[in-house]
Structure 1
Amino acid sequence: MLPSNHLDLATTYINIGSIHYTLGYFTKAFSYYKQALNIRQNMLPSIHSDQATAFKCIGDVYEIMREHSDALLYYQKSLDIIKKNLPSSHPTFATICNHMAIVYQSIGEYSTALSYCSKALEIQEKTFSSFHFELATTYNNFGALQQLLGNYSNALTYHEKALEIQKKSYLPHHSDIATSYNNIGYIHCVLGDHALALSYFNKATKIQAEVLCSTHPNIVRTLNNLGMLYESMENYSTSLSFYEKALEIQLKNYSPIHLDLAVTYTVYNAIENYPSALSNFERALEIELKTLPVMHPDLATTYNNIGAVYDAMEDQHRALLYYKKALAIQEQILPSDHPDFSATYNNIAIAYDSLGEYPNALSYYRKTLRIAEKALFPGHVSLTVTYNNIGLVHHKMGDNMSALSYYKKTLEVEERTLSSIDPDLMATYDIIANIYIFMGEYFSALHYYEKKLEIQEKILSTADVQLAMSFNMIGLLHQWLGDHRRALSFFERALGIQEKTLSGSHTSQAVSHFNIASALENVLQLSESVEHTIRAINILRYCLGSDHPHVKLCEKYLNHRNKKIQC
């Protein structure tokens, strides 16, 4: 039996700790690593390389538990010993540099993280073959940094290089492959390719279920990623179920101020349950303020989220306060064209828009667009949201020509990227038609309403009341253009649908009767015009009461038409 301070025991403790670490049992791993370190500190010189190994292992636990200052302390101790024992080109330097890069990235010190990544890569490219598994770790670190800096195409390239190496170096169900699948899926989700993102997240989930314990942080990360994906797809119930699973794991296994809990509180937003959402975000903020530097990007994210809840609760002034806190952090730590600015600018613009402060809203929407156009490829469908927002503000300000130019930018993208019968395309035709009506350009409005109708006739049943509404609108446009017989045919088609699908006393039927009466008057079929006017009045009296202004207006038209008959 070996004595309790035997060096072979220290090696065994390291090995057992590493198994616990891989499985996600970090408290147990920490305990074994500490026992190993105690033996080695007592039995070996202070600069012995085995002590560096123990310091590095303890740093790994602190790193994954997001206790950044302790992680850096132990990694630095490991690095100091390695410098005294090994040449600066030794691969062990690269390993420690990679881990230090991850910690600096986590605390928002991206330039320092990039410096350590670069040191690691420089050593590894001189030492290893181009498909060595250690290179995959460095490429993934570079990818994560590029992602945080908003360079998504570069990030994707690095993550894909890492995955290519891992597939050649590891068995198919290695947990590092799952990490790369997660990284690649996240980028595709951000870029709007939801189907591809889901396929990568599912691959990660399958591997993790086989090789990790159910409480492992990487499983929590995948659950949060799936929640984010379904949220961006507006499938909120599924999104919420993934966030709740992540939170359940963390509440059982983490301390109340663990930083990963802050991450989940930040994304776990009970849909339209604003008090619950606000409570979660405030918990996240409380944790982050205790554990992160005051200029960390995660704080900006949480401030944005709190602002969004206040915005949804129609407290725009308080929302703006939090949005501007987020912006103040981002202006200190991010390059001026970082995509995160786009989200903050957009939030601020929406708040000003809601307050009726249209010049301010327009200014921030334009800033949003400037960054989005740099970050996304030309014609990306996500640009249409900002084009529409800018168009709407111009319309509210009475500048319909400018509004029209932005809505046509939306249309250009949608006609190139969407199906010819997509409802979003139909909605854009409708908006453009209505802008032309405001401008009095009825012929142009008719052109776009007909395009809208063309889609409706392909996707709706022949008795759908939405068709009746379009027939009425197209009829009015023909009437305003002086083609009264054509107008009449559309009004009659609208009424035909309404009589099949609505009760006999619905106000929509009154509108169609009145429109028909107007068209008949214009083609001098006065008796029929009076007949339809009376039908409109009877329906409106039944629905609205005899004293309603619409009833009084129709009665005036009835008197006028009766007089024309008498003449």
Structure 2
Amino acid sequence: MKRPFASIKHLSQFPEEEEEILFSVGSVFRILDVNDRRATKGHWFVKMMMVENDDDLNELRSQLNQQYSRYGNFCDLGSALIGMSDYDRAERYFQMLLEYTPESKASFGLIPNFLGIIYANRGDYQKAFEFQERALKFRTQESSIQYNQHHIANTYVHLGAVYHHLGQLDLALKHLLIAVELRSPTTSLAFAYNGIAITYRDKDNTRLALDYFLKALDIYENVLKRDKYHPELATTYNNIGEIYSHLGAYDDALNYWTHALEIRLKGIVATHTDLAAIYHNLGVTYLETKRFYKSIRNVHESFRNR
């Protein structure tokens, strides 16, 4: 047994009333059932099973390790904070690194890049643009261009996203296409394809938008095969569903939205607004196809999750 446990009932202050078990640090449990008994006994009862070898958990741990330990330097901690949406601490951390990291270090360019990501996630796109421009300027210095090729591509991806949020669609498209030409890292390439698709969609070119969404999905499905409930997959499925709906291909739209809903319901990162949007899309499309009962049911779920 990797993580032993033992009864400590004999050490309890109330040995006749409590069945206390001491578990090893790092023990993992799978929740089987949650029962609300507050009305009668004042407690929640949670039924759990101790997990010894959980392949799903091991795969998730491996993927998180890969995702948040990719830089091999101080940026990994800040990257994890961003992944947790803890933008205040992430900002303080990267501002500290910005102050104390010499520009002679090859990893310096990552710092303004991450600060740009933080400000973009907060909706401060002007500040995000300033930091991404600073990152690009550092990375395109002649002495480091070869070493920084994939970092340069990644920065173009983020600049494209910022331009899109600023309403400058042509500049967004230009920067995202440069990122593709520079052969972005795999996940960044998917992000670039997704950004290109969204930009074409907003320029009312739905056919090209669909092509690029499908390219992004192909990469995500391969890269995230260990995490089939990753929110990025749900977002891409939802976007493709919207394109098919716009093209009048309602059965295809319903298929992609159903996939998106399944991921949102089973994944660990989902907000009520995410669910409400998908239920709304399903409800409207079922109405278009005259499946009224399903339409009413999904519209009801949409309102329930707002």
| 2:162 paired with 1:314 | no
- Indicate which of 348, 367, 373 corresponds to 2:221: 373
C-alpha contact 1:311 1:319 (8 A) present in aligned 2: yes
Q: How many residues align?
A: 241
Alignment of 1:240-319 (within 5 A): 240-250=91-101, 254-255=102-103, 258-269=105-116, 270=119, 271-290=122-141, 291-293=144-146, 296-319=149-172
CA distance in 2, matches of 1:298, 1:186: 23
Q: Percent identity?
A: 22
CA distance in 2, matches of 1:308, 1:414: 24
Structure 2 partner of 1:463: none
Structure 2 partner of 1:408: 258
1:448 and 1:418, CA in 2 relative to 1: closer, same or farther beyond 3 A?
farther
Structure 1 partner of 2:249: 399
1:320 and 1:279, CA in 2 relative to 1: closer, same or farther beyond 3 A?
same
CA distance in 2, matches of 1:296, 1:420: 34
**Offset at 1:427?**
4.0
CA distance in 2, matches of 1:340, 1:314: 21
Where structure 1 has 5 or more consecutive residues not aligned to the other structure, the ranges are: 1-155, 158-183, 192-196, 201-216, 457-465, 467-567
Alignment of 1:31-430 (within 5 A): 187-188=63-64, 221-222=73-74, 224-250=75-101, 254-255=102-103, 258-269=105-116, 270=119, 271-290=122-141, 291-293=144-146, 296-330=149-183, 338-377=186-225, 379-382=228-231, 383-417=233-267, 424-430=274-280
RMSD between aligned residues: 3.4
Larger radius of gyration: 1
1:307 and 1:445, CA in 2 relative to 1: closer, same or farther beyond 3 A?
same
- Indicate which of 429, 449, 453 corresponds to 2:299: 449
More helix per residue:
1
1:225 and 1:421, CA in 2 relative to 1: closer, same or farther beyond 3 A?
closer
CA distance in 1, matches of 2:216, 2:151: 20
Deviations 1:491-512 (A, max 9, x none): xxxxxxxxxxxxxxxxxxxxxx
Structure 1 partner of 2:290: 440
**Offset at 1:452?**
4.7
C-alpha contact 1:243 1:268 (8 A) present in aligned 2: yes
Where structure 2 has 5 or more consecutive residues not aligned to the other structure, the ranges are: 1-57
C-alpha contact 1:307 1:319 (8 A) present in aligned 2: yes
CA distance in 2, matches of 1:450, 1:266: 42
If asked which structure has higher relative contact order (CA below 8 Å, sep 6+), I would say 2
Q: TM-score, normalised by structure 1?
A: 0.38
| Aligned partner of residue 386 in structure 1, secondary structure | helix
C-alpha contact 1:307 1:323 (8 A) present in aligned 2: yes
C-alpha contact 2:157 2:188 (8 A) present in aligned 1: no
**Offset at 1:364?**
0.4
1:402 and 1:273, CA in 2 relative to 1: closer, same or farther beyond 3 A?
same
Deviations 1:426-448 (A, max 9, x none): 44323211221233332220222
C-alpha contact 1:300 1:326 (8 A) present in aligned 2: yes
| Aligned partner of residue 330 in structure 1, secondary structure | coil
Tell which deviates more after alignment, 415-424 or 281-290. Answer: 415-424
CA distance in 2, matches of 1:240, 1:341: 25
| Aligned partner of residue 182 in structure 2, secondary structure | helix
Q: TM-score, normalised by structure 2?
A: 0.67
CA distance in 2, matches of 1:358, 1:319: 17
Structure 2 partner of 1:119: none
User: 1:339 is aligned with what amino acid?
Assistant: T
C-alpha contact 1:259 1:287 (8 A) present in aligned 2: no
Alignment of 1:491-530 (within 5 A): none
CA distance in 1, matches of 2:205, 2:271: 36
Deviations 1:81-103 (A, max 9, x none): xxxxxxxxxxxxxxxxxxxxxxx
C-alpha contact 1:342 1:371 (8 A) present in aligned 2: yes
Alignment of 1:531-550 (within 5 A): none
Deviations 1:147-167 (A, max 9, x none): xxxxxxxxx99xxxxxxxxxx
1:385 and 1:259, CA in 2 relative to 1: closer, same or farther beyond 3 A?
same
User: 2:64 is aligned with what amino acid?
Assistant: H
More strand per residue:
2
